[in-house]
Amino acid sequence: MALIEMQNIKKDYFLGETVVHALQGIDLRIDEGEFVAIWGPSGSGKTTLLNLIGAIDEPTTGDLAIAGREVRSLSDNQRSELRNETIGFIFQGFNLIPVLSALENVMLPLQIKGTSFGQAQAKALGRLQEVGLSEFIRHRPFKMSGGQQQRVAIARALVNDPSLVIADEPTANLDSETARMIIGLMRESNEKEATTFIFSTHDQRLLDQVKRLVRLEDGRIVDGGMKR
């Protein structure tokens, strides 16, 4: 079943009087349970594509449906709900809330959803255990290494049991060993829970493990159907 459906998606940015065509007619379908990498040179439109798939940005033209819901027809509040319930985000810079502990950061999406404190805590503890951080639950982000922070971010992205996780260069700031661990965690979640992962990367270690590669160049998909 299609989780993401994009038809003739275009995205333009205006820099003063200059129009930048970031995406120029993207057609893409991603099914549930896929492990997809978006790759291509800098400026090819990878992040823009991920922002659209993550419902944090709107296409200039074209149709985009996430989990069967046409994004353009959703209000801002409905998009927020869609993101909270259906999509998990992993950022290159981790983007953890510095005043919250690891556990509180992971609990955040559940608390935004309105889950009770007890349930949210239990679920967040479970996710932190899965990423091997049971002993760091009280630690604030600044007291953790980059790898540990990214593992907290993965736990946070997965805590709501989303259908889709979007990761923008998730291993870019990590050393090889940590990157391997992060890739492993993502693969494990994909295989065990059939969570769809879409990420942008330049990391060959990550590209070697994906089931499907979508190559972008100048805002167009030049190779999108290859499955491994």
Partner 1 sequence: MMKWMKLAIRNILRNKRRSFVTLLAIGVGFAAISLFRGYVSNTYSGLRESAIRGEGLGHLTIFKAGWLEKGKLDPEKYMFSKEETEKIIKFVTEENGVVLATPQIQVAGIASNGITSTIFIAQGVVAQDDRTIKGAWAAFRPVKGEGLNEKKSYGVEVAQDLAKFLNLTPGKDGVVMTTTLSGQMNAMDIQVMGVYDSGSDATNDKYMRFTFDFAQALVDTHKAERIVVLLDNWKKTEQMRALLLKKLTGAGIVCEIKTWNELSLFYSKVRGMFDMIFLFLFTIVLVIVVMSTVNTMGMAVLERTREIGTLRALGLKRRGVSLLFAMEGGVLGFFGSFIGVVLHVSVWGMIRASSPTYTPPGISTPVPLVVDLVPRALFVLMLFLVFLSLIAAIVPARRAAKQNVVNALGHV
Cβ atoms within 10 Å of 41's Cβ, excluding its own? 12
Return the range that interacts with partner 1 (CB under 8 A); candidates 1-9, 87-95, 184-192, 198-206. Answer: 87-95
C-beta closer to partner 1: residue 47 or 209: 47
Minimum CB separation of residue 76 from partner 1 in Å reads 6
Residue 226: burial class (beta carbons within 10 Å; 0-12, 13-18, 19+):
exposed
Contact between 197 and partner 1 by CB under 8 A: the answer reads no
Query: How far is it, in rounded angstroms, from Cα 79 to Cα 96?
Result: 21
CA 199 to chain centre: 6
CA angle 198, 203, 208 (to 5 degrees): 75
Residues 153-192 that bind partner 1 (CB under 8 A): 156
Q: Select from 2-10, 22-30, 54-62, 128-136 the region that touches partner 1 (CB under 8 A).
A: 54-62
d(CA 154, CA 128): 9
**Minimum distance from residue 49 beta carbon to partner 1 (Å):** 12
Q: Is 224 a binder of partner 1 (CB under 8 A)?
A: no
Give me the least distance between CB of 200 and partner 1, in Å please: 14
Structure tokens at 130: 């899965």
89: Cα within 13 Å, side-chain hemisphere: 21
Nearer to partner 1, 140 or 215 (CB): 140
Residue type, position 86, single letter: T
| C-alpha distances in Å from residue 157, one per residue of 75, 101, 149, 184 | 23, 16, 12, 15
> Which of 27, 63, 85, 218 contacts partner 1 by CB under 8 A?
85
Q: Which amino acid is at 33?
A: G
Residues 58-77 that bind partner 1 (CB under 8 A): 76-77
Contact call for residue 127 and partner 1 (CB under 8 A): no
Asked if 167 and 90 touch (Cβ cutoff 8 Å), the reply is yes
Looking at beta carbons only, is 101 or 196 nearer to partner 1? 101
Q: In the complex, what is the shortest distance from the CB of residue 95 to partner 1, in angstroms, rounded to a whole number?
A: 4
| 112 contacts partner 1 (rule: CB under 8 A) | yes
Q: Return the number of the residue (24 or 95) whose C-beta is nearest partner 1.
A: 95
Q: Specify which residues 223 forms β-bridges with.
A: 215
Positions touching partner 1 (CB under 8 A) are 51, 54, 56-57, 76-77, 80-81, 83-85, 89, 91, 95, 97-100, 108-109, 111-113, 117, 156
